Structure 1
Amino acid sequence: MTIDFTDIVIVAGNYGSGKTETAVNLAAACRRTGKSVAIADLDLVNPYFRTREARIPLEAMGIQVVLPDRQYLFADLPILAPAVADILRQPADVTILDAGGDDVGVTVLASLAAVLKNKPVRMLQVINAFRPFTGDVAGCLKIRKEIEASGKINITGLVSNANLMDDTSVAHIYQGYDLVKQVSAHTGLPVEFITATPEIRSQLDLNRITCPVLTLDRHLLPPTQSLKT
């Protein structure tokens, strides 16, 4: 099974869900299929993991990366580049919006409501079963409600990004997948894909998983480490 997305894809999730790393790797995966890809950094909340930190390897792949103006590049201010609206009016084959964490971070989406109106949009909720507030179905549903209320856009699909960084095991991936399936059963939303590093993916029993697996090449590292290209 492969991920075959087109049009506009918004990636959102609570703090620590790994939604930025998911967005970056989704952009790379879509580009490898030959599609034109653009990704915009709307994360105005999290100062550590942002799409802008991965712009060099993304641009090297031919992916258009839209960031705030250079003087605001590392600011924590609600600044949207006009180019964000431009890529939504004339989107690439796949246009990915890396939205901020939780309800506060996705508030910026509400300002794009007029541009997004009547356009095909996927809104993905990234769930990490091992982060606070999303360890059970109730917590995931609460985060969903907050994101939708603040962003003024309904979530259309779910993503499991179950990880404990270097301590992640195959069992953790299965546990996260099982949780997201339960959320899917409660909401009727599809599980669009799950994520796994190349090492973990090679150990998965894919017969147990009924959705695509997005391979995570770790483009983003903590600020104290080098950026992997």
Structure 2
Amino acid sequence: MLKDKRLRIVIGHYGSGKTEFSVNYAVKLAKMGKKVALVDLDIVNLYFRSREKSNILEEMGIRVIGSSVKGAAVDIPAISSEVLMPLQDKSYEGIIDVGGDPVGARVLGMYYQYFIPEEYDMFFVLNANRPETQTVEKAIEYLRKIEDAARVKVTGIINNTHMLKSTTIEDVLRGQELAEKLSQEANLPIKYISAIESVAKELPKDLEGEIFPMTLYMREEWMV
């Protein structure tokens, strides 16, 4: 993780698990003693947004930046000017959770001038169980559309093939096959293989990419 660039942009289709990965990434950095800001740029999706966990994350020392309109019952696509803070302040490790389609990625395009190659990574979160990204052709088409909208290039792939709490080793390994094909087609490295902790510890150690155990912060206990 510490070899990644200072700014980490996380993109992926709805249901890919990009927000869960973003939150887990921020938590892991905070536990390493890093100064962390998590920017929620998702103004399209109404559910499972990282800013919904602001209280928990801020207790861990993570600065959460989301809508400029405060209020639990208010949902307006308003972006806080604080977004610029981690982009400009190099004392922060920044994680940027972007809306899950090319429309959502246009928001990131507003800030493209801040993303110089030496300072950012953009990770494409791949879930082989999503119909829209379950083939190489579909996945690379989706990836390129997001790049075009965001005006920023993807630098790595995350295999996050899951079925939430029902995820199996077989799910992850099937997703890894797709990730490897996408890696070859797009000439991008597989950076992480993320999975719930019970599955992550059972995965083979020789897979391409770093195994990334995750806690389901975005799922309430009563959710399946």
Q: Above 0.5 in TM-score?
A: yes
The 5 A counterparts of 1:5-44 are: 5-44=4-43
Give, in angstroms, the shift of residue 74 of structure 1: 5.8
- After superposition, the Cα gap between the structure-2 partners of 1:132 and 1:3, relative to the gap in structure 1 and judged at 3 Å, is farther
The CA distance in 2 between the partners of 1:138 and 1:55, in whole Å, is: 36
> Secondary structure in 2 aligned to 1:85?
helix
The equivalent of 2:198 in structure 1 is 199
Contact 2:9 2:97 (C-alpha < 8 Å) held by counterparts: yes
Per-residue Cα deviation, 1:129-167 (whole angstroms, up to 9, x for no partner): 001211110011011111011111111111111001122
Separation (CA, whole Å) in 1 of partners of 2:79 and 2:36:
19
SS of the equivalent of 2:133 reads coil
**Aligned-partner Cα distance in 1 for 2:142–2:2:** 25
Q: Normalising to structure 1: TM-score of the pair?
A: 0.90
CA deviations 1:177-227 (Å, max 9, x no partner) are: 1111110011111111010111111221223x13211111011126x958x
2:144 aligned partner, one-letter code: K
- For residue 175 of structure 1, what is the aligned residue in structure 2? 174
2:85 equivalent to 1:79: no
User: What residue in structure 2 maps to residue 213 of structure 1?
Assistant: 211
Please say if residues 6 and 93 of structure 1, whose CA atoms lie closer than 8 Å, have aligned partners that are also in contact. no
Question: Where does residue 103 of structure 1 map in the other structure?
Answer: 102
Alignment correspondent of 1:153 = 152
Distance change in 2, residues 1:51/1:195 (3 Å)? same
Aligned length: 223
Q: Do structure 1's residue 140 and structure 2's residue 139 form an aligned pair?
A: yes
- The amino acid of 2:6's aligned partner reads D
Cα offsets for 1:64-117 (capped at 9, x unmatched): 111222436665543211100122111444201000001011110111123335
Q: State the one-letter code of the partner of 2:218.
A: L
> Gaps spanning 5+ residues in structure 2: where?
none
SS of the counterpart of 1:58?
helix
Which shifted more, 115-124 or 189-198? Answer: 115-124
SS in 1 for 2:121: strand
Q: Aligned Cα RMSD in Å?
A: 2.0
Q: Do the aligned residues in 2 keep the contact of 1:67 with 1:73 (CA within 8 Å)? A: no
Structure 1 residues 109-118 or 21-30, which shifts more? Answer: 109-118
Provide closer, same or farther for how the CA distance between residues 55 and 71 of structure 1 changes in structure 2, counting only shifts above 3 A: closer
Task: Tell me the amino acid that sits aligned with residue 187 of structure 2.
Answer: G
| Alpha-carbon separation, structure 2, partners of 1:138 and 1:72 | 41
Higher RCO, 1 or 2 (CA under 8 Å, sep at least 6)? 1
CA contact (8 A) 2:115 2:152 kept: no
2:130 is matched with: 131
SS at match of 1:122: strand
CA contact (8 A) 2:5 2:120 kept: no
CA contact (8 A) 1:78 1:108 kept: no
Distance 1:69 1:155, change over 3 A: same
Distance 1:129 1:75 in 2: 33
Q: What is the percent sequence identity of the aligned residues?
A: 30
Q: Secondary structure at the match of 2:158?
A: strand
